[in-house]
Amino acid sequence: MLGSEANLICSEEDLEMLSLLPPLDGLHVLELGAGISPFTEKIADSAARVTTVDCANMFFAKKLSKMENMRNVEHLQADVTKLDFPKTKFDLIISSFQFMHLEDEELKALTACLIRWLRPGGHLFFHEFCSRQPDSTSSQKTYRKQADYNRFMQETTEGLNCEAETMHGFDLVFSKCMNLKHKEERLHFCWLLKKVIRTGNNCSLEEFLEKERFSRRKISHIEWMYGQGFLSAGGLDTTQELMSLLNLKPGEKVLDIGCGIGGPALYMAKAYGVEVLGIDLCLCAIEIAQNRLMEKNVPKVQFELCDATMREFPENSFDVVYSKESILYILDKLSLFQKLHRWLKPTGRFLILDYCSGEQPMSEDFQKFVNSTGFQLLAVPSFTKYLETAGFADVHVTDYTPQFVKHLKNELMHVKKNKEEFIKNFSKQEYDDNINVWKGKIQECEAGGLTQGLFQGTKRAVNNSVLCDDNIL
């Protein structure tokens, strides 16, 4: 199937991928491409049942001989495009390097089958070699880009063949590059997706951010305004100010939620010697961040496409959680804060800077803007209460609105001063739109309808020793 290409994956990557799988206890697992999979034996040790599938080849034959005494494993010799299983048969489907052998239409058809075979809430985990450049084919293999697989998984649905049938699709949990820093020609990516209910007109937050809020073009002109690497007001100046409040120490592990195109993460790593995992749900932003990471060669930083509300990390994984103007997109903030509390080590700390609704009612025009952006704003007291309910101690709140307005006014002046350059690079319409948004934010802050809250706190220490996971980064 893959020949020597599969040998490019090192045992370290195998172990990391195993750690990314959902808990296996009691699950019925379907494994596609089992002949070259590093997972089968480990899966069979924990799962209730495992169904393995592969074409006949030397790899699969060797594996069968090793696993002949495992009674919870069923082996099938078959072409993945010709499989047929009952609906909702499996809890987890794992695929190893199967999709690169399929044409686009075959992949779409198989993806619909995978959705059908999974139970609601079940997961698909797959890994593939991807190209750094589009349209890369070789020896009957298609090396797609990460974005191509995301598109297939987002757009494919299953169901609605009759009015009574519910339509299902996949939501992204994460997509992770396993060998970005090795600079091989092929990038090794893995994905975890969850089967969810789809309605006819809804889209995921990932799709909304990609198409409406942070397209590649919008990222370009936002970065032009805020400075290279930054997508929010204050750029590097605000980042430096916030980092100075965190008392970062070399070797600490930082989770950057809503990392954007990577400016804050790269700055933290270089200035303080910390290890940073930046996560974001916008593929364009993550692709740019990964490219910048390769250019700048900062070894202590990783970037991952993921949904923070669905992602899981081991308890006590991070020393610091940092987030700037990102949690405003999340509706269920309490559940996220409870996760952050689990992920932080005892005495770990967080810093969150985010938009909040002010003490005065929002103007009608600005409320329309908020609705169009997908912002889910809380008042500062509610935001604080959720953090405390999640278990955080010493929650301290600072009104950051004056600094926010100062940066907005400075950046507004800069853009007006360089109007011709902006329009030359982008358009008059985009210039006008940005000016109006800036003015609206400034007016709303000054009228009391919008504020920025700076939230800081810690996770309480525990008396007994706690094991920490040092393999996240």
- In the chain, the domains with their CATH numbers are 3-202 (3.40.50.150), 209-458 (3.40.50.150)
Q: What is the pLDDT of residue 244?
A: 97
**Residue 268 is inside which H or E element, if any?**
helix 263-272
Could you give phi then psi for residue 25, rounded to 5 degrees? -55, 125
Q: Which residues contact 293 (CB under 8 A, 6 or more apart)?
A: 180, 181, 262, 266, 301, 303
Q: pLDDT under 50 in the chain at which residues? A: 1-5, 8, 162, 164, 465-467
**Residue 235 is inside which H or E element, if any?**
helix 235-246
Q: What does each C-alpha distance from 179 to 17, 301, 329, 395 come to in angstroms?
A: 12, 13, 30, 38
CA nearest neighbour of 194 among 144, 154, 148, 146: 154
399 vs 386: CA distance, rounded Å = 17
Q: What is the pLDDT of residue 1?
A: 40
**Residue 150 is inside which H or E element, if any?**
helix 146-155
Q: Which residues contact 93 (CB under 8 A, 6 or more apart)?
A: 29, 30, 31, 32, 114, 117, 118, 122, 123, 124, 125
Helical spans, DSSP H, in 53-103: 58-66
Q: Are strands 49-54 and 73-77 parallel, antiparallel or unpaired?
A: parallel
User: How far is Cα of residue 64 from the mean position of the Cα atoms in its chain?
Assistant: 36
248 within 8 A of 254, measured Cβ to Cβ: yes
Q: What is the pLDDT of residue 182?
A: 53
CA nearest neighbour of 301 among 344, 345, 353, 266: 266
Q: What is the pLDDT of residue 151?
A: 85
Helical spans, DSSP H, in 297-358: 333-343
Report pLDDT digits (tens) over 122-177: 999 999 999 866 555 555 678 898 888 988 888 888 765 545 467 899 999 999 98
Could you give phi then psi for residue 469, rounded to 5 degrees? -90, 115
CA nearest neighbour of 130 among 82, 180, 171, 59: 180
189 vs 290: CA distance, rounded Å = 13
